[in-house]
């Protein structure tokens, strides 16, 4: 029964408007002359100049990006290996172990944050990038774990067995057969982990040190003094950066296929 | 083989980024400042770094309670300078987390206007330097408002139905209800508090906006015609619309101060004293007040304040004694405050 009306298109358009309108408003208001975000004053690019002049903002951005990269890489590694191991395992408490490994994203962040803070003090770890990475990697691992595991279950075991029949070792079979097959899941898991790490405020506040500030902390704590369109400008720049990356990866991907 | 190359490249990236992290071996001259983001203006920080060569590490917290939790955890270490609100400084003092200021290292200490000192959290002026004193005030748009506004009681006027904005701060809002009944902010009389709670429920129909931040935006954009604002919001509102009128409530003013202190185990307390000395300079104090929009506690800065700020940032000594701080009360009183505020918020919806 084919759909002859324009209704699906209308529905899609409406959905996209609802999803993207807030982002469009943020971008437009980054050019706002007025400091307050509720009144339109006129066009200006001053806020963009302010972003580059504000060295603490750039440093916080740098910290967040480095932190995101490190934690999603660690999460990618541990999550993948964990998923591969879990799929092969057959012992009875397997279900329980899986449940425990997804706990970090189910526990409320503030509890996790406080627990990390006390735990790291007990270990006398210096608060800063190290504790931030450990904290972030902990809640990033479940994302990668779940995505890779879901993908692994769908892979036909006969590929691995065929490779082994032809003489490949366990490691070789993993590297040459399994890994390429699950790489889309690993990449999307890592991207999700990166986004979650970049976004995190609560845990970061508790485990950061006196010398490391991350971007979400800086923006969130600016609420007391008032959020200026400088943040809109920064968000627009980050959006632009992401867009460029996505376009680049698409172009590279198309080239490879040819 | 390609996979191996990708893995190798990936590991190199991870290793190199993690090496950049551990790279700060030498002992730099630095000071760790801990407060809300942008509360200390960037030009003040840059000026200090240029003049003394000491790097400022500016980390942030969102609430006073969060700051206290971290300070308790580090037992007064890690941070050199903390800028937080009066009531939390009192609690920190009781827990022994403050260190005495060495006034010989802060010659500009005498610039502080004495009307901002000797308050409950530091009665002997041994631990703190006031940074941002403020009085919450009522601001209204005379074109939209028909009734006369003289104090907190005016907010209850029926002509203001659905057009008042207030801040979402429990003790302050319960406090203004108490004031209209002639009580103190800090009374521990449970009957009085309950009466204030009942009175608050009558205020609910007039409240359109209950917000912690940016309340002044609603006033300026016209969504509400009367607002009860913190000092910085008052100044921002007046800047955006000079026709707004400010009212010092006749029932009695609330008062609050954000002040700087040095924690007990600060790693760089010498540099912290140097920073305090720097911000107590006349010109720097003026830079701070014109950007934070709070009252100016620095006598030496008054001559540097631009014309338009002289009125809003300098208040006379007569206003302060009438101001009352909101302080901690007994456990039962605190619980009752919680209860009536929750009921008030529920009635708003």
Q: Which string of DSSP letters, residue by residue, matches A110-136?
A: HHHHHHHHHHHHHTTPPTTHHHHHHHH
Please indicate whether residue A36 or residue A187 has the higher confidence score (pLDDT): A187
Cα dihedral B305, B306, B308, B310 in deg (nearest 10): 20
pLDDT (tens digit, 9 = 90+) per residue, B288-336? 888 888 888 888 888 888 777 766 655 655 666 677 888 888 888 888 8
| Residue that the structure tokens 């005498």 belong to | B110
ipTM above 0.95, yes or no: no
Structure tokens given for B287 = 């830079």
A73 and B213: CB-CB below 8 Å? no
What angle, rounded to 10 degrees, do the helices at A109-122 and B64-73 form?
30
Classified as helix, coil or strand, A44 is coil
d(CA B253, CA B320): 8
A176 and B236: CB-CB below 8 Å? no
A224 and B214: CB-CB below 8 Å? no
Chain A partners of B57 at a C-beta cutoff of 8 Å? 210-211
pLDDT of residue B27: 60
| Residue that the structure tokens 């790693």 belong to | B267
In a domain, A127, yes or no: yes
Query: Any chain B CB within 8 A of the CB of A212?
Result: yes
Mean pLDDT calculated for residue range B198-216: 87
Structure tokens given for B165 = 């904005």
pLDDT (tens digit, 9 = 90+) per residue, B237-284? 887 888 888 888 888 888 889 999 999 999 998 999 999 999 999 899
Instruction: Using pLDDT thresholds of 50, 70 and 90, give the confidence band for residue A85.
Output: confident
* Structural domains for chain B: 28-134+257-315 (3.40.190.10), 137-252+324-348 (3.40.190.10)
Instruction: Find out whether A191 and A76 touch, Cβ atoms under 8 Å.
Output: no
pLDDT at position A159 over 60: yes
Contacts of B267 (CB under 8 A, 6+ apart): B32, B77, B78, B80
Chain B partners of A39 at a C-beta cutoff of 8 Å? 217, 220-221, 240
Classified as helix, coil or strand, A158 is helix
Query: Any chain B CB within 8 A of the CB of A226?
Result: yes
pLDDT (tens digit, 9 = 90+) per residue, B219-229? 888 889 999 98
In a domain, A47, yes or no: no
Please indicate whether residue B82 or residue A92 has the higher confidence score (pLDDT): B82
Please indicate whether residue B330 or residue A134 has the higher confidence score (pLDDT): A134
Instruction: DSSP letter for A43, please.
Output: B
B73 and A118: CB-CB below 8 Å? yes
pLDDT at position A251 over 90: no
Cα distances (angstroms) measured from residue B299 to each of A239, B112, B234, B295, B313: 46, 6, 22, 11, 12
* Parent domain of A190: 54-257
Contacts of A239 (CB under 8 A, 6+ apart): A23, A27
Q: How does strand B164-167 pair with strand B207-211?
A: parallel
In a domain, A111, yes or no: yes
A210 and B32: CB-CB below 8 Å? yes
The minimum CA-CA distance between A102 and chain B, rounded to whole Å, is 24
B232 and A127: CB-CB below 8 Å? no
In a domain, A156, yes or no: yes
d(CA A85, CA B20): 32
Domains in chain A: how many in total? 1
| Residue A105 burial (10 A CB sphere; 0-12, 13-18, 19+) | middle
Structure tokens given for B212 = 């912690």
pLDDT at position A64 over 90: yes
pTM greater than 0.95: no
Query: Any chain B CB within 8 A of the CB of A205?
Result: yes
Chain A partners of B212 at a C-beta cutoff of 8 Å? 223
pLDDT of residue A10: 92
Question: Which has the closest alpha carbon to A70: A81, A58, A78, A82?
Answer: A78
In a domain, A19, yes or no: no
In a domain, A48, yes or no: no
In a domain, A194, yes or no: yes
pLDDT (tens digit, 9 = 90+) per residue, B32-74? 999 988 889 989 999 999 999 999 999 998 888 889 989 998 8
Instruction: Using pLDDT thresholds of 50, 70 and 90, give the confidence band for residue A219.
Output: confident
Give the per-residue SS3 of chain B. Answer: CHHHHHHHHHHHHHHHHHHHHCCCCCCCCEEEEECCCCCCCHHHHHHHHHHHCCEEEEECCCCHHHHHHHHHHCCCCCCCEEEEEHHHHHHHHHCCCEECCCHHHCHHHHHECHHHCCCCCCCCCCCEEEEEEECCEEEECCCCCCCCCCCHHHHHCHHHCCCEEEECCHHHHHHHHHHHCCCCCCCCCHHHHHHHHHHHHHHHHHEEEEECCCHHHHHHHCCCCEEEECHHHHHHHHHHCCCCEEECCCCCCEEEEEEEEEECCCCCHHHHHHHHHHHCCHHHHHHHHHHHCCCCCEHHHHHHCCHHHHHHHCCCCCHHHHCEECCCCCHHHHHHHHHHHHHHHHHHC
CATH code for the domain in which residue A196 is found: 1.10.3720.10
A36 and B78: CB-CB below 8 Å? no
Cα dihedral A181, A184, A190, A196 in deg (nearest 10): -140
pLDDT of residue B326: 84
- Within 13 A of A12's CA, how many CA atoms are on the CB side? 4
d(CA B36, CA B55): 18
In a domain, A61, yes or no: yes
Chain A partners of B78 at a C-beta cutoff of 8 Å? 127, 209-210
The answer to which of A44-48, A109-113, B300-304, B319-323 has the lowest mean pLDDT is B319-323
pLDDT (tens digit, 9 = 90+) per residue, B161-192? 888 999 888 888 888 899 888 888 888 888 98
Query: Any chain B CB within 8 A of the CB of A175?
Result: yes
């Amino acid at each position: 029964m084919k759909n002859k009306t324009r209704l699906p298109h209308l529905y899609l358009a409406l959905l996209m408007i609802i999803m993207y309108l807030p982002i469009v408003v943020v971008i437009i208001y980054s050019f706002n002359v007025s400091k307050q975000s509720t009144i339109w004053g006129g066009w200006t690019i001053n806020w963009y100049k302010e972003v580059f002049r504000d060295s603490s903002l750039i440093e916080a951005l740098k910290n967040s990006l480095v932190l995101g990269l490190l934690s999603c890489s660690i999460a990618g590694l541990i999550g993948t290996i964990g998923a591969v191991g879990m799929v092969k395992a057959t012992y009875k408490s397997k279900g329980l172990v899986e449940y425990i490994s997804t706990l970090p994203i189910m526990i409320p962040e503030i509890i996790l944050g406080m627990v990390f803070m006390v735990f790291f003090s007990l270990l006398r770890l210096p608060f800063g990038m190290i504790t931030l990475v450990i904290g972030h990697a902990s809640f990033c691992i479940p994302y990668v774990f779940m995505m890779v595991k879901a993908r692994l279950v769908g892979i036909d075991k006969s590929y691995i067995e065929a490779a082994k029949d032809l003489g490949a070792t366990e490691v070789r079979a993993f590297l040459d057969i399994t890994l390429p097959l699950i790489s889309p899941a690993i990449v999307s898991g890592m991207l999700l982990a990166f986004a979650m790490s970049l976004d995190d405020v609560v845990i970061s506040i508790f485990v950061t040190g006196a010398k490391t500030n991350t971007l979400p902390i800086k923006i969130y704590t600016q609420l007391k003094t008032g959020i200026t369109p400088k943040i809109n400008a920064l968000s627009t720049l980050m959006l632009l950066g992401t867009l460029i990356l996505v376009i680049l990866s698409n172009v590279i991907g198309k080239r490879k296929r040819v | 083989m390609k996979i191996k190359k990708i893995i190798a490249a990936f590991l190199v990236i991870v290793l190199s980024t993690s090496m950049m992290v551990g790279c700060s071996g030498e002992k730099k001259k630095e000071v760790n400042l801990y407060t809300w983001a942008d509360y200390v203006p960037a030009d003040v920080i840059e000026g200090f770094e240029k003049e003394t060569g000491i790097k400022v590490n500016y980390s942030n917290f969102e609430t006073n309670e969060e700051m206290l939790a971290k300070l308790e955890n580090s037992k007064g270490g890690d941070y050199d300078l903390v800028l937080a609100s009066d009531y939390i400084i009192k609690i920190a003092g009781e827990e022994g987390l403050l260190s005495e200021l060495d006034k010989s290292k802060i010659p500009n200490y005498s610039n502080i206007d004495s009307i901002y000192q000797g308050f409950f959290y530091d009665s002997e002026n041994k631990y703190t330097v006031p940074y941002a004193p403020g009085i919450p005030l009522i601001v209204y748009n005379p074109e939209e408002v028909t009734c006369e506004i003289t104090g907190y009681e005016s907010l209850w006027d029926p002509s203001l139905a659905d057009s008042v904005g207030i801040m979402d701060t429990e003790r302050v809002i319960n406090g203004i209800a108490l004031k209209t009944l002639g009580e103190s902010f800090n009374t521990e009389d449970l009957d009085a508090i309950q009466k204030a709670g009942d009175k608050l429920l009558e205020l609910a129909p007039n409240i359109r906006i209950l917000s912690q931040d940016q309340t002044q935006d609603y006033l300026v954009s016209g969504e509400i015609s009367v607002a009860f604002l913190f000092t910085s919001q008052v100044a921002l509102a007046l800047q955006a619309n000079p026709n707004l009128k400010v009212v010092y409530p006749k029932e009695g003013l609330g008062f609050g101060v954000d002040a700087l202190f040095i924690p007990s185990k600060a790693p760089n307390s010498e540099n912290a004293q140097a920073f305090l000395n720097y911000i107590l300079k006349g010109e720097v104090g003026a830079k701070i007040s014109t950007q934070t929009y709070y009252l100016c506690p620095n006598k030496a800065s008054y001559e540097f304040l631009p014309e338009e700020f002289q009125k809003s940032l300098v208040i006379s000594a007569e206003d302060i004694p009438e101001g009352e701080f909101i302080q901690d009360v007994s456990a039962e009183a605190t619980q009752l405050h919680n209860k009536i505020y929750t009921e008030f918020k529920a009635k708003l919806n």
